[in-house]
Amino acid sequence: MSLGLAAWWLCSLLLAPLLLPLAWLTRRRALRLPVAGGEPQGLVEGDGGEPLRLLVLGESPVAGVGVARHSEALAAQLAACLAQGLRRPVSWQALGENGIRAEQACQRLLPGMPAQPVDILLLVFGVNDTTHPGSVRRWLAAMRQLAEQGEQQGALVAISAVPPLQHFSALPWLLRQWLGWRGWLLDRGLRGLAQRHGWLHCAVALGFSADYLARDGYHPSALGYRQWARGLAPLLIERLR
């Protein structure tokens, strides 16, 4: 166990009398939003040529929680940015489940991956694995399994950084800081995993705004998804060229 992770667990034990009631009250009072409606796939027109095939696999942002339709969510917004930047059509598919963790996704989402080759596989995980503390080693093993499946299908594998839970306004301050620290630790392991295997770790540097969150204070809004996609697209385009 790393020094940082050991310190987090020690802090968790010391603060448990405060953190456990906060977590229980927060879960009880949380506003629960549905997944997005509409088709979780589509085609963004470009200047011609064979469409780039984008598959986004992950948790609630991939399921479009926080917006009304998939056309406003991450996969469709990223496809639009890629089509504009690459000047070619982009065929996109979102394969996500609200509340899922990486290890569960290996069992429940991988069988739903398309059989045909994929050009880009973007993995979007981390929030649920942060809020359900478990083994970091198992988290990384599950992320590796998901990434290797995309690699076997010829995809450029990209992994979005763990979202910054310290900015989620639905969470009380102490809970935000505790989970933000845990998320940072998970993401540090994720960066190392990506570097060792030549996968793209996408740490999007954006100034945070309250407008980026949906009315539940937890999931992205339409603007949040759009800004997230605008941050991811240049990283992917640079690797593709």
pLDDT score for 103: 96
Q: What is the pLDDT of residues 206-238, one digit of tens each?
A: 667 888 999 999 999 999 999 999 999 999 999
Mean pLDDT of 75-80: 98
The total of structural domains in the chain comes to 1
Mean pLDDT of 22-33: 87
Locus of tokens 């990283």: 235
Contact 187, 161 (CB under 8 A): yes
Q: What is the pLDDT of residues 108-128, one digit of tens each?
A: 999 989 888 899 999 999 999
In a 3-state reduction of DSSP, which class is residue 127? Answer: helix
pLDDT range class, residue 15, cuts 50, 70, 90: confident
Strands 41-44 and 90-96: antiparallel
pLDDT score for 207: 67
Q: What is the pLDDT of residues 145-163, one digit of tens each?
A: 999 999 998 899 999 999 8
What residue ranges in 108-171 does DSSP mark as E strands?
Answer: 120-124, 156-160
pLDDT score for 22: 85
- Written as six digits, the tokens of 4 are 């940082």
DSSP letter assigned to residue 211: G
> Across the chain, what does the average pLDDT equal?
92
Locus of tokens 């469709």: 76
**CATH number of 99's domain:** 3.40.50.1110
Domain span at residue 173 reads 3-240
Mean pLDDT of 168-172: 89
pLDDT range class, residue 1, cuts 50, 70, 90: low
- Written as six digits, the tokens of 123 are 């993995």
Mean pLDDT of 13-35: 88
